Protein backbone atom coordinates (compact mmCIF):
# COMPACT_ATOMS: atom_id res chain seq x y z
CA UNK A 1 0.00 0.00 0.00
CA UNK A 2 1.21 3.48 -0.79
CA UNK A 3 1.30 5.99 2.02
CA UNK A 4 1.08 9.61 0.81
CA UNK A 5 4.59 11.01 0.58
CA UNK A 6 7.30 11.97 -1.85
CA UNK A 7 10.77 10.50 -1.69
CA UNK A 8 13.81 10.99 -3.83
CA UNK A 9 15.52 7.60 -3.55
CA UNK A 10 14.90 4.11 -4.83
CA UNK A 11 15.89 0.75 -3.40
CA UNK A 12 15.62 -2.27 -5.70
CA UNK A 13 15.46 -5.78 -4.30
CA UNK A 14 15.79 -8.69 -6.71
CA UNK A 15 13.86 -11.70 -5.45
CA UNK A 16 14.12 -15.32 -6.61
CA UNK A 17 12.03 -16.30 -9.64
CA UNK A 18 10.19 -18.93 -7.59
CA UNK A 19 8.93 -16.25 -5.22
CA UNK A 20 6.85 -14.71 -7.99
CA UNK A 21 4.93 -17.97 -8.28
CA UNK A 22 3.59 -17.90 -4.72
CA UNK A 23 -0.14 -17.09 -4.61
CA UNK A 24 -0.88 -14.11 -2.36
CA UNK A 25 -4.50 -13.22 -3.19
CA UNK A 26 -6.61 -11.05 -0.96
CA UNK A 27 -8.62 -13.12 1.51
CA UNK A 28 -12.05 -11.58 0.97
CA UNK A 29 -15.14 -12.92 2.69
CA UNK A 30 -17.91 -14.20 0.37
CA UNK A 31 -19.84 -11.29 -1.09
CA UNK A 32 -20.06 -8.88 -4.00
CA UNK A 33 -16.45 -7.68 -3.73
CA UNK A 34 -15.09 -11.22 -3.90
CA UNK A 35 -17.39 -12.09 -6.81
CA UNK A 36 -16.26 -9.01 -8.71
CA UNK A 37 -12.60 -9.72 -8.07
CA UNK A 38 -13.04 -13.24 -9.44
CA UNK A 39 -14.75 -11.75 -12.52
CA UNK A 40 -11.84 -9.32 -12.90
CA UNK A 41 -9.38 -12.19 -12.81
CA UNK A 42 -11.36 -14.03 -15.50
CA UNK A 43 -11.30 -10.86 -17.64
CA UNK A 44 -7.53 -10.59 -17.23
CA UNK A 45 -7.11 -14.20 -18.33
CA UNK A 46 -9.17 -13.50 -21.47
CA UNK A 47 -7.67 -10.15 -22.39
CA UNK A 48 -3.98 -10.51 -21.57
CA UNK A 49 -1.71 -11.99 -24.25
CA UNK A 50 -0.49 -15.56 -24.05
CA UNK A 51 3.10 -16.15 -23.05
CA UNK A 52 5.31 -14.25 -20.60
CA UNK A 53 3.81 -11.12 -19.03
CA UNK A 54 5.29 -7.98 -17.48
CA UNK A 55 3.17 -6.74 -14.57
CA UNK A 56 3.63 -3.59 -12.50
CA UNK A 57 1.93 -3.53 -9.12
CA UNK A 58 1.71 0.06 -7.93
CA UNK A 59 1.62 0.07 -4.16
CA UNK A 60 1.68 -3.71 -4.31
CA UNK A 61 3.10 -4.17 -0.85
CA UNK A 62 3.12 -7.74 0.39
CA UNK A 63 0.07 -9.31 -1.32
CA UNK A 64 -1.23 -9.61 -4.88
CA UNK A 65 -4.63 -9.83 -6.59
CA UNK A 66 -3.06 -11.50 -9.65
CA UNK A 67 -4.36 -15.08 -9.98
CA UNK A 68 -1.68 -17.74 -9.46
CA UNK A 69 -1.82 -18.99 -13.06
CA UNK A 70 -0.88 -15.51 -14.30
CA UNK A 71 1.73 -15.02 -11.58
CA UNK A 72 3.45 -18.18 -12.75
CA UNK A 73 4.18 -16.69 -16.19
CA UNK A 74 4.78 -13.10 -15.18
CA UNK A 75 7.67 -10.89 -14.19
CA UNK A 76 6.25 -8.86 -11.31
CA UNK A 77 7.59 -5.41 -10.44
CA UNK A 78 6.29 -3.78 -7.26
CA UNK A 79 6.73 -0.13 -6.29
CA UNK A 80 5.69 0.89 -2.79
CA UNK A 81 6.59 3.82 -0.58
CA UNK A 82 6.41 1.77 2.63
CA UNK A 83 9.75 0.15 3.45
CA UNK A 84 8.11 -2.57 5.56
CA UNK A 85 5.74 -3.51 2.73
CA UNK A 86 8.64 -3.76 0.30
CA UNK A 87 10.64 -5.84 2.76
CA UNK A 88 7.70 -8.20 3.36
CA UNK A 89 7.05 -8.80 -0.34
CA UNK A 90 7.66 -12.44 -1.27
CA UNK A 91 6.37 -12.76 -4.84
CA UNK A 92 7.86 -9.90 -6.88
CA UNK A 93 10.94 -10.21 -9.07
CA UNK A 94 11.71 -6.55 -8.29
CA UNK A 95 10.48 -4.77 -5.17
CA UNK A 96 11.22 -1.06 -5.44
CA UNK A 97 10.99 1.50 -2.66
CA UNK A 98 9.49 4.50 -4.42
CA UNK A 99 6.50 6.79 -4.94
CA UNK A 100 4.11 5.67 -7.70
CA UNK A 101 3.16 9.32 -8.29
CA UNK A 102 6.73 10.13 -9.33
CA UNK A 103 8.40 6.85 -10.26
CA UNK A 104 8.61 6.42 -14.03
CA UNK A 105 9.39 3.36 -16.13
CA UNK A 106 10.26 3.25 -19.82
CA UNK A 107 7.53 3.68 -22.42
CA UNK A 108 5.48 0.55 -23.20
CA UNK A 109 7.14 -1.62 -20.55
CA UNK A 110 4.19 -3.50 -19.03
CA UNK A 111 1.20 -5.59 -20.11
CA UNK A 112 -0.70 -4.85 -16.91
CA UNK A 113 -0.60 -2.27 -14.11
CA UNK A 114 -2.40 -3.11 -10.87
CA UNK A 115 -3.37 -0.36 -8.44
CA UNK A 116 -5.51 -2.03 -5.78
CA UNK A 117 -6.67 -0.06 -2.72
CA UNK A 118 -4.04 2.59 -3.40
CA UNK A 119 -5.43 5.66 -5.21
CA UNK A 120 -7.47 6.78 -2.20
CA UNK A 121 -4.13 7.31 -0.40
CA UNK A 122 -2.55 9.48 -3.11
CA UNK A 123 -2.65 13.30 -3.20
CA UNK A 124 -1.74 13.29 -6.93
CA UNK A 125 -3.85 10.57 -8.53
CA UNK A 126 -3.66 12.23 -11.96
CA UNK A 127 0.16 12.01 -11.99
CA UNK A 128 0.07 8.36 -10.96
CA UNK A 129 -2.48 7.43 -13.63
CA UNK A 130 -0.50 9.14 -16.38
CA UNK A 131 2.65 7.31 -15.25
CA UNK A 132 0.74 4.03 -15.42
CA UNK A 133 -0.58 4.81 -18.90
CA UNK A 134 2.82 5.74 -20.25
CA UNK A 135 4.38 2.55 -18.86
CA UNK A 136 1.76 0.36 -20.61
CA UNK A 137 2.17 -1.33 -23.93
CA UNK A 138 -0.53 -0.50 -26.49
CA UNK A 139 -3.56 -2.58 -25.55
CA UNK A 140 -2.22 -3.03 -22.02
CA UNK A 141 -4.52 -2.64 -19.04
CA UNK A 142 -4.78 -0.96 -15.65
CA UNK A 143 -6.73 -2.68 -12.89
CA UNK A 144 -7.97 -0.31 -10.19
CA UNK A 145 -9.74 -1.29 -7.00
CA UNK A 146 -10.79 1.57 -4.72
CA UNK A 147 -13.40 2.70 -2.20
CA UNK A 148 -16.34 4.77 -3.38
CA UNK A 149 -16.11 8.14 -1.57
CA UNK A 150 -19.87 8.72 -2.06
CA UNK A 151 -20.83 5.56 -0.15
CA UNK A 152 -21.58 5.31 3.56
CA UNK A 153 -18.23 3.67 4.32
CA UNK A 154 -16.47 6.14 2.02
CA UNK A 155 -17.94 9.17 3.81
CA UNK A 156 -17.04 7.71 7.22
CA UNK A 157 -13.49 6.96 6.03
CA UNK A 158 -13.06 10.40 4.47
CA UNK A 159 -14.24 12.47 7.41
CA UNK A 160 -13.22 10.41 10.44
CA UNK A 161 -9.75 10.73 12.04
CA UNK A 162 -7.09 8.14 11.37
CA UNK A 163 -7.14 6.86 14.95
CA UNK A 164 -10.75 5.80 14.38
CA UNK A 165 -9.70 3.77 11.32
CA UNK A 166 -7.09 1.98 13.43
CA UNK A 167 -9.65 1.35 16.18
CA UNK A 168 -12.12 -0.07 13.63
CA UNK A 169 -9.54 -2.41 12.14
CA UNK A 170 -8.46 -3.67 15.55
CA UNK A 171 -11.81 -3.93 17.34
CA UNK A 172 -14.36 -4.54 14.59
CA UNK A 173 -12.27 -6.34 11.97
CA UNK A 174 -10.16 -8.13 14.58
CA UNK A 175 -6.80 -7.20 13.02
CA UNK A 176 -4.70 -6.67 16.13
CA UNK A 177 -1.58 -5.50 14.26
CA UNK A 178 -3.52 -2.74 12.45
CA UNK A 179 -1.72 0.58 12.45
CA UNK A 180 1.68 -0.90 13.24
CA UNK A 181 4.58 -0.07 10.87
CA UNK A 182 3.84 -1.43 7.42
CA UNK A 183 0.28 -2.45 8.33
CA UNK A 184 -3.03 -0.90 7.21
CA UNK A 185 -5.01 1.22 7.60
CA UNK A 186 -3.02 3.99 5.96
CA UNK A 187 -3.96 7.71 5.86
CA UNK A 188 -6.42 8.61 3.10
CA UNK A 189 -6.71 11.69 0.84
CA UNK A 190 -9.64 10.89 -1.48
CA UNK A 191 -8.46 12.98 -4.42
CA UNK A 192 -11.45 13.99 -6.63
CA UNK A 193 -10.42 11.44 -9.26
CA UNK A 194 -11.19 8.62 -6.83
CA UNK A 195 -14.87 9.35 -7.54
CA UNK A 196 -15.83 6.86 -10.23
CA UNK A 197 -17.47 9.22 -12.79
CA UNK A 198 -14.47 11.58 -12.62
CA UNK A 199 -12.05 8.68 -12.93
CA UNK A 200 -13.89 7.43 -16.01
CA UNK A 201 -13.86 10.89 -17.62
CA UNK A 202 -10.15 11.39 -16.90
CA UNK A 203 -9.35 7.97 -18.30
CA UNK A 204 -11.28 8.65 -21.51
CA UNK A 205 -9.47 11.97 -21.98
CA UNK A 206 -6.13 10.24 -21.41
CA UNK A 207 -6.44 7.54 -24.05
CA UNK A 208 -7.82 4.83 -21.78
CA UNK A 209 -11.10 2.98 -22.34
CA UNK A 210 -13.01 1.40 -19.49
CA UNK A 211 -13.69 -2.27 -20.31
CA UNK A 212 -14.86 -3.37 -16.87
CA UNK A 213 -16.70 -1.39 -14.22
CA UNK A 214 -18.55 -2.70 -11.19
CA UNK A 215 -19.59 -1.09 -7.92
CA UNK A 216 -19.90 -3.57 -5.08
CA UNK A 217 -20.94 -3.73 -1.46
CA UNK A 218 -17.94 -3.03 0.71
CA UNK A 219 -16.46 -6.24 2.15
CA UNK A 220 -16.64 -4.56 5.56
CA UNK A 221 -20.40 -5.34 5.63
CA UNK A 222 -20.17 -9.15 5.33
CA UNK A 223 -17.20 -9.03 7.70
CA UNK A 224 -19.31 -7.20 10.30
CA UNK A 225 -22.28 -9.53 9.77
CA UNK A 226 -19.99 -12.43 10.58
CA UNK A 227 -18.02 -10.90 13.48
CA UNK A 228 -20.41 -8.31 14.98
CA UNK A 229 -23.99 -9.23 13.95
CA UNK A 230 -25.74 -6.74 16.23
CA UNK A 231 -23.61 -3.84 15.04
CA UNK A 232 -24.06 -5.01 11.44
CA UNK A 233 -27.85 -5.06 11.88
CA UNK A 234 -27.77 -1.43 13.08
CA UNK A 235 -25.56 -0.35 10.19
CA UNK A 236 -27.72 -2.20 7.66
CA UNK A 237 -30.83 -0.55 9.10
CA UNK A 238 -29.23 2.88 8.83
CA UNK A 239 -28.16 2.16 5.25
CA UNK A 240 -31.71 1.10 4.39
CA UNK A 241 -33.06 4.41 5.72
CA UNK A 242 -30.52 6.37 3.65
CA UNK A 243 -31.33 4.32 0.54
CA UNK A 244 -35.02 5.16 0.98
CA UNK A 245 -34.20 8.88 1.11
CA UNK A 246 -31.83 8.99 -1.86
CA UNK A 247 -32.87 8.55 -5.51
CA UNK A 248 -34.10 5.12 -6.65
CA UNK A 249 -31.26 2.71 -7.35
CA UNK A 250 -28.90 4.23 -4.77
CA UNK A 251 -27.26 1.81 -2.37
CA UNK A 252 -24.94 3.50 0.10
CA UNK A 253 -23.47 0.09 0.97
CA UNK A 254 -21.75 -0.05 -2.43
CA UNK A 255 -18.54 1.14 -0.90
CA UNK A 256 -16.00 -0.28 -3.38
CA UNK A 257 -15.45 -0.53 -7.11
CA UNK A 258 -13.29 -2.41 -9.59
CA UNK A 259 -12.44 -1.05 -13.03
CA UNK A 260 -10.20 -2.19 -15.86
CA UNK A 261 -8.84 0.46 -18.23
CA UNK A 262 -7.25 -0.44 -21.57
CA UNK A 263 -4.75 1.74 -23.40
CA UNK A 264 -5.96 2.66 -26.86
pLDDT digits over 55-80, tens only? 999 987 666 788 888 988 999 999 99
pLDDT digits (tens, 9 = 90+) for 184-194: 899 999 999 99
**How far apart, in whole angstroms, are the C-alpha atoms of residue 257 and residue 64?**
17
Mean pLDDT of all residues in 164-190: 91
The pTM assigned to this predicted structure is 0.87
Q: How many CB atoms lie within 10 A of CB 135?
A: 23
CA-to-CA separations, 211 to 44, 139, 173, 261, in angstroms, rounded: 11, 11, 33, 6
Q: Is the pLDDT score of 149 beyond 80?
A: yes
Residue 188 neighbours by CB under 8 Å, 6+ apart? 120, 121, 157, 158, 165
The interaxial angle of helices 196-205 and 125-135, nearest 10 deg, is: 40
pLDDT above 90: percentage of residues in the chain: 72
CA-to-CA separations, 64 to 40, 51, 141, 228, in angstroms, rounded: 13, 20, 16, 28
Mean pLDDT of all residues in 214-235: 93
Amino acid sequence: MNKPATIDFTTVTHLPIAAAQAPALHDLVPGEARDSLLAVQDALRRELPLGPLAIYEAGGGSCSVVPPDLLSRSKITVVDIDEDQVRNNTYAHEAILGDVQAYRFGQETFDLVICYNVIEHLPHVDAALLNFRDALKRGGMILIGAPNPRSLSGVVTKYSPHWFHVWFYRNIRGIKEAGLPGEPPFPTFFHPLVTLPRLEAFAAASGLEMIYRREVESPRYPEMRRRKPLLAALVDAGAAVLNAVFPRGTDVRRGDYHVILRKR
